[in-house]
């Protein structure tokens, strides 16, 4: 059976060029901090990759810190900021990835959830009012967590507008850009974010490597200590092969960005077929990632959708891969006002750098038939 992979938001297939870059780096000798020739070669490879990241997202000089994953990046960003700036409050949007709220809760700062409007967007007016109250109450140093794009709906947040409000009240903005980098243009400087995180495996890079981007001279306390790696900001022997692969993926990201309109067209074809078959689509009224579709279908649970299509050779998700297997409503859709049934019958279709018309056609062929069977049994 031909397989059709429509779960890029969980992890994208690794590019062949990235595999080659990782394998080549693994064949090299030398620790990137060693001063002999082998070490200098390894160090150059790491710094070349850092430069590719800087070029892709307009990161500041010395602002890229390599980590082991998106989740570690989130942990480092929140704990590093909390410790360095004495944060008293962390505000977390209601649609953030679960790793953001979970790691915020383990800092010494109080955590407050910020609601979103129906499309899943942060309410900028309410944000300004809440921060005005925070200032009036002399609430102390604070940080706001607002993702670039949602992992379930693909909705892109007004990060720059939120940053302007946050900075008006002398706060910091952390932006989880894991789903955006390599899929849509991301400009760290223009976004206004003080700290940003992402990971390589969402756009064709390898698993096990991510990055934190910090503004010029922004203090961040290291979470991992013991060595001088990453400019004394993150101790641990440098993952040279993974970083080489991430750098190569960043260098190739322009190819994916150039396909954005084509990928959006495939997404829209899938969306139209699902709506015609009776599905409800979430986030369609907002600006979205080109390859992300979030739908729900009454009587057709997300887990059943996933299993049914898997048997037909199609890989989709019943939510974020980090929470798949848990039979509970989507917190993102719940925050958007969905009922429990709607939030439980959520499925996510996500295309990416190597998605094809054949992939879209497979979903268009199989999903409506599967839902028709579900509705026929319930009649």
Q: Report the pLDDT value the prediction gives residue 158, as an integer from 0 to 100.
A: 98
Q: What is the pLDDT of residue 326?
A: 52
Q: Which domain holds residue 336?
A: 4-12+258-378
Q: Does the pLDDT of residue 340 top 60, yes or no?
A: yes
The closest alpha carbon to 78, from 119, 106, 54, 41, belongs to: 106
Indicate the average pLDDT of the chain: 94
Summarize the confidence of residues 116-138 as an average pLDDT: 95
Is pLDDT above 60 for 327? no
Of 250, 255, 246, 251, which is closest to residue 25 (Cα–Cα)?
A: 246
| Better-scored residue on pLDDT, 266 or 118 | 266
Residues 192 and 273 in one domain: no
pTM of the model: 0.94
Of 238 and 166, the structure prediction assigns the larger pLDDT to 166
Q: How many residues does the chain have?
A: 379
Count structural domains, the chain: 2
CATH of the domain at 338: 3.90.1150.10
Helix axes of 37-57 and 240-258: crossing angle, nearest 10 degrees: 30
Residues 244 and 281 in one domain: no
**Cα separation of 356 and 262, whole Å?**
9
Beta strands, E only, the chain = 4-5, 64-67, 89-93, 110-114, 142-145, 172-176, 195-199, 210-214, 280-282, 292-296, 314-315, 346-350
Active-site residue set: 322
- Shared domain for 179 and 139, answered yes or no, is yes
Do residues 123 and 264 both lie within one domain?
no
Instruction: Say what the pLDDT of residue 223 is.
Output: 84
How high is the pLDDT of residue 379? 77
The whole-number pLDDT of residue 216 equals 84
CATH for 125: 3.40.640.10
Q: What is the pLDDT of residues 151-176, one digit of tens each?
A: 999 999 999 999 999 999 999 999 99
Q: For the residues 278-305, what does the mean pLDDT come to?
A: 96
Among 226, 255, 284, residue at a domain's last position: 255
33 vs 144 pLDDT, higher one: 144
Same domain flag for 147 and 204: yes
The reply to whether 125 and 156 lie within a common domain is: yes
Write the DSSP string, 239-276. Answer: -HHHHHHHHHHHHHHHHHHHTHHHHHHHHHHHHHHHHH
Look at residue 324 and tell me whether its pLDDT is greater than 70. no
């Amino acid at each position: 059976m031909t397989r059709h992979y429509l779960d890029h938001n969980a992890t994208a297939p690794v590019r062949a060029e990235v595999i080659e870059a990782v394998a080549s780096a693994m064949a090299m000798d030398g620790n990137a901090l060693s001063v002999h020739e082998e070490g200098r070669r390894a160090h150059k490879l790491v710094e070349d990759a850092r430069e590719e990241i800087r070029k892709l997202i307009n990161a500041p000089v010395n602002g890229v810190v390599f980590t082991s994953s998106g989740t570690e990046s989130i942990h480092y960003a929140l704990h590093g900021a909390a410790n360095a700036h004495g944060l008293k409050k962390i505000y977390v949007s209601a649609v953030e990835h679960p790793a953001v709220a979970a790691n915020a809760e383990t800092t010494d700062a109080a955590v407050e959830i910020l609601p979103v409007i129906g499309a899943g967007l942060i309410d900028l007016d309410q944000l300004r009012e809440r921060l005005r109250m925070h200032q009036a109450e002399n609430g102390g140093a604070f940080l706001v967590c607002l993702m670039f794009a949602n992992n379930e709906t693909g909705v892109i947040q007004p990060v720059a507008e939120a940053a302007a409000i946050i900075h008006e009240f002398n706060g910091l903005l952390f932006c989880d850009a894991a789903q955006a980098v390599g899929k849509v243009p991301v400009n760290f400087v223009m976004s206004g974010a003080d700290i940003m995180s992402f990971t390589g495996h969402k756009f064709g890079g390898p698993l096990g490597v991510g990055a934190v981007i910090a503004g010029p001279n922004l203090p961040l306390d290291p979470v991992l200590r013991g060595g001088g790696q990453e400019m004394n900001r993150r101790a641990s022997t440098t993952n040279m092969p993974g970083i080489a692969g991430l750098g190569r993926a960043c260098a190739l990201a322009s190819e994916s960005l150039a396909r954005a309109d084509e990928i959006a067209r495939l997404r829209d074809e899938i969306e139209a077929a699902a709506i015609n078959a009776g599905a409800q689509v979430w986030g369609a009224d907002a600006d979205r990632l080109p390859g992300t579709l979030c739908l729900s279908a009454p009587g057709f649970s997300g887990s059943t959708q996933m299993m049914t299509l898997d048997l037909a050779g199609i890989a989709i998700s019943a939510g974020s891969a980090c929470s798949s297997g848990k039979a509970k409503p989507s917190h993102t859709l719940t925050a958007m006002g969905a009922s429990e049934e709607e939030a439980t019958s959520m499925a996510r279709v996500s295309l990416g750098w190597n998605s094809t018309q054949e992939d879209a056609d497979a979903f268009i062929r199989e999903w409506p038939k599967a839902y028709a069977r579900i509705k026929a049994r319930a009649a």
